[in-house]
Each structure stands twice: as C-alpha cells, then as structure tokens.
Structure 1
Amino acid sequence: MTRGAQGLARVAVVVRAGAAPLWWLGVFAVGIGVLVPGLTGRRIGVMAGAALFLVTAAVVGGVRRKRYGELTRGAVRAGKQDVLQDRQVTVRNWRRGHRWWLVLGFLAALGSAFVVPAAGGLMLAGAGAGLRLKAGWIGRAEQSGDALLWVRVDWLSGRGGAPGGKRVKAYRSTGVAAGDAAPGGGRRAVAARA
C-alpha cells in the first residue's frame, strides 16, 4: 500500500460474515438436540427455542442501529489510494478471528440440549438470522444513499473490532459499482453473457 492508503472492508460483508456459520451450526445443534429428551422434554424445548429464536434474531438485528446510522451519515468518500478488500477475504478473516467463539457457541448449544432440547441451537440460528437481517438493513441504507459503506480493516482487528464498535471513527463510501459484493454484502450477480 502506498503512503496514506488504508485497507477497507465492506461493512455489510463484515456483519453478514457470521450469519451462515451461526445459522448452520444452530441448525445442526437443533438436529442433535431433538434426539435428547432433556429435563423439560422435546415439546417444551422446541417451543422455548422458537421463542428464543425470534427474540435473538430481533435483538441481534436491531442492536447498534443508531450507531450504524450515525456512521453512515458521516461517511466520507474513499480516496483513490485506499485498497478495497475482496468479499471472500473479509469473510475468511472474520471467520478465522471468531472460530473459537463459533465452536464454543455450538458446544454450549449442544450442552443445553440435555436440559432444554433444541433451544440452544435455535438461539444460535436466531443470531445468524439476526446478522442477515442487519446486513439487509445496511444494504437498504446503501441503496438509498447510492453508496457502498466501508470500514478500515485495522479498526476491525483485536478486541472490540466490530464495524459498529467504539474503535470505528467513520465509514468511507464508494460508488455502488465498487468491490465484488452487492449492497447488503451478498455476492454480486454475474451478468449473463450475450
């Protein structure tokens, strides 16, 4: 990188990076959890888990929205020297940095099945769904502002390194054609060849 250049990662991609692993680990934990009768029984466990799924998805999807909104409104244009990180690299970095938290969450969900079957897995899946909802909300903000939102990579590393965390001072913005991810952090649709 040249002097003054910053590595930038897409905000929506960072938020969305945990959605798939949390969802699938949660679904897997539910599948195993319903095989265990538990202390409360399967029916109560699944009903409690469904409530936990909805509450967790709502909380995770809604937390820090005000902070994200402030950072979005204060976004400054990215410079020509800034380096835009690929979607795949951003996702891989997030998952490597959080792999032990994902493993611990999965093990906790499995362990909770012996008390309340399937509830822990549904809660984990709800966290994944909430992250997907939040990424979608960011994507709608990007579309309405006709600009993609980016955050400095160095602000994401270490403890408290979240795209809406205290370490983040401002977002940067680019046009909607920049980068390899669509608004909301999903893969960009490949145009059909004529």
Structure 2
Amino acid sequence: MTRGGQGLARVAVVVRAGAAPLWWLGVFAAGIGVLVPGLTGRRIGVLAGAALFLVAAAVVAYARRGRYRALARSAARASKHDVLQDRAVSVRNWRRGHRWWLLLAFLAALGSAFAVPAAGGLLLAGCGVGLWLKAAWAGRLEQADDVL
C-alpha cells in the first residue's frame, strides 16, 4: 500500500468470518456430547440444547444492530490509496486472531456435555447461525446504501 492507505474490509465479511467455525465446532461438540449420558440424561440435554440453539441464534442475530446501522450511516467513500481486502484475507485474519477463543468455546461446550449432553454444542452452533444471519442482514444493508 502507498502512503496514507489502509486496508478495508466489508463488515458483513468480518461478521460472517466467525459463523462457520462456531457452527462446525458446535455441531462437533454436540455430536460428541450425545455420546456421553451426562447428569441430566440425553433427552433433556438435547431438548435444552435445541431451545438454547434457537434462543442463541435469535439473540446473536438481533443484538447490536444499531451499531452496524451507525457504522453504515457514517461510512465514508474510500480514498484512492485505500485497498479493499480480499474476503479470504479478512476471514483468515479474523480466525487467526480469535483461534484461542474458538478453542476455549469448543472446550467449554465439550466439557458441559458431562452435565447436560449436547446443550453446549448446540448453543455454540446457534451462535454461529446467529452470526450468519447478522452477516446476511449487514450485507443487505451495505448493498442498499452502497457503502462499505
């Protein structure tokens, strides 16, 4: 980049970067969690996990939308020195910066299977789905306003 330039990324791409790892780690943790009988039993664990999945997806999808609206309203046109980052670069940077948090979330979901089977994994997967829904909404917002 030249002097004064900066790398820019679309908000929707950065939000969506966490959706896939959360989803897959959650599904994997829930699958392993079903194998463990747990303290509450498999049926209660899976039903509680399904409820947590739906609640987490809704909460994550609708939380902090005002912040993203404000970011879209205040977006300025990029200068000629600014560079739009490739989606793969944005996703890789986000995942590299958050890999320890993802590992800790996976281990917590896996550990919770000994108390409530599959619930922690389904909660994690619900957060991933919520991020995917929020990214889709932010992408539509960006396209409608024609801003980054």
* Alignment check: 8 A CA contact 2:77 2:147 kept: no
For the residues of structure 2 that align with 1:122 and 1:52, how far apart are their CA atoms? Answer: 7
What does 1:105-124 align with in structure 2 at a 5 Å threshold?
105-124=105-124
Larger fraction in strand: 1
Higher relative contact order by CA 8 Å / sep ≥ 6: 1 or 2?
A: 2
- Residue identity opposite 1:46 in structure 2: V
Equivalent position SS for 2:40: coil
What does 1:1-194 align with in structure 2 at a 5 Å threshold?
1-145=1-145, 147-149=146-148
Tell me how large the CA RMSD over aligned residues is: 0.9
For the residues of structure 2 that align with 1:130 and 1:148, how far apart are their CA atoms? Answer: 23
How far 1:143 sits from its partner (Å)?
2.5
For the residues of structure 1 that align with 2:23 and 2:13, how far apart are their CA atoms? Answer: 16
For the residues of structure 1 that align with 2:73 and 2:10, how far apart are their CA atoms? Answer: 16
Runs of 4+ aligned residues of structure 1 deviating over 3 Å after TM superposition are: none
Identity %: 79
Cα deviation digits, residues 95-141 of structure 1 (max 9, x gap) = 11000111111111110000000000000000100110000001111
Report the number of matched residues: 148
For the residues of structure 2 that align with 1:68 and 1:144, how far apart are their CA atoms? Answer: 14
- Residue identity opposite 1:105 in structure 2: A
Return 5+ residue gaps in structure 2 as ranges: none
Equivalent position SS for 2:144: helix
How far 1:2 sits from its partner (Å)?
1.7
For the residues of structure 2 that align with 1:16 and 1:140, how far apart are their CA atoms? Answer: 13
For the residues of structure 1 that align with 2:147 and 2:74, how far apart are their CA atoms? Answer: 13
Between 1:51-60 and 1:107-116, the stretch displaced more is 51-60
For the residues of structure 2 that align with 1:113 and 1:121, how far apart are their CA atoms? Answer: 8
- Residue identity opposite 2:110 in structure 1: L
For the residues of structure 2 that align with 1:26 and 1:67, how far apart are their CA atoms? Answer: 27
For the residues of structure 1 that align with 2:98 and 2:41, how far apart are their CA atoms? Answer: 32
Larger fraction in helix: 2
Cα deviation digits, residues 168-187 of structure 1 (max 9, x gap) = xxxxxxxxxxxxxxxxxxxx
TM-score relative to the length of structure 2: 0.97
TM-score relative to the length of structure 1: 0.74
For the residues of structure 2 that align with 1:118 and 1:90, how far apart are their CA atoms? Answer: 31
